[in-house]
A and B are shown apart, each in its own frame.
Chain A
Amino acid sequence: DQQVKQNSPSLSVQEGRISILNCDYTNSMFDYFLWYKKYPAEGPTFLISISSIKDKNEDGRFTVFLNKSAKHLSLHIVPSQPGDSAVYFCAADYQGGSEKLVFGKGTKLTVNP
């Protein structure tokens, strides 16, 4: 049973436009969500996170939105740059749990010049 789902395996956008990556989760216990960026043959790099007490967190070009009632979060990248091309993983955790992160399968973002 996949608790964190990224239903779009790939996304292609034009440089300068907005990239929107989506993630859905099923476990209502999750209260901390993270986005990681991964290049081939490298480990994931932490991008941005959000706690369930918030519905938005912004860091530069990256904004994460959380809709708890829909069990949905999204990562917005504005403006998108070719260097943003990578696989993006959504992950979830819950306080008081075992600190284990549950990852989605990832979305490959391609930003075209």
Chain B
Amino acid sequence: GAVVSQHPSRVICKSGTSVKIECRSLDFQATTMFWYRQFPKQSLMLMATSNEGSKATYEQGVEKDKFLINHASLTLSTLTVTSAHPEDSSFYICSAKVGGSSNQPQHFGDGTRLSIL
């Protein structure tokens, strides 16, 4: 149980392109999803917390106009990297938590490798 699917797994595109990444909880409802970014040999850095039906909460230093998050249903959150530039190249990972429960693990998708040329 607790499977999180992330799509696409890899994106290579030109600078200036907008890229949408989807995160789905397949067998549970997730009122909260999280978006992380990981640089090589670094830890996972939380970018934003996505709450179903409300605006996402962004971490300090993360541009909300650059990284658009939509959590339209209990099983789907999307991250759109707008007008992507080479410095946005990274590994983006989403996670989801079973709704309404504390002391439960976050379950992660397999990540999206974004490469901006």
Contacts and interface: CB of A to CB of B under 8 A. Distances in A.
Interface stretch (A13-21, A66-74, A100-108): A100-108
A: interface residue count bin? 20 to 34
Which of B102, B105, B110 has the most chain A CB atoms inside 10 A of its CB? B105
Contacts of B4: 43
A103 B44 contact: yes
A30 B114 CA distance: 32
B49 interface: yes
A43 B110 contact: yes
A46 B111 contact: no
Contacts of A41: 91, 110-111, 113
A82 interface: no
Given A43-B4, A43-B93, A103 B49 contact: no
A49 interface: yes
Contact of B49 (A36, A45, A100, A106): A100
Interface of A: 32, 34, 36, 41-46, 49, 51, 89, 95, 98-101, 103-106
Interface of B: 4, 6, 32, 34, 42-44, 46, 49, 57, 91, 93-95, 97, 102-103, 105-111, 113
20 contacts: A32-B102, A34-B105, A41-B91, A41-B110, A43-B4, A43-B94, A43-B95, A43-B108, A43-B109, A45-B108, A46-B105, A46-B108, A49-B103, A98-B57, A101-B34, A101-B46, A103-B43, A104-B43, A105-B43, A106-B43
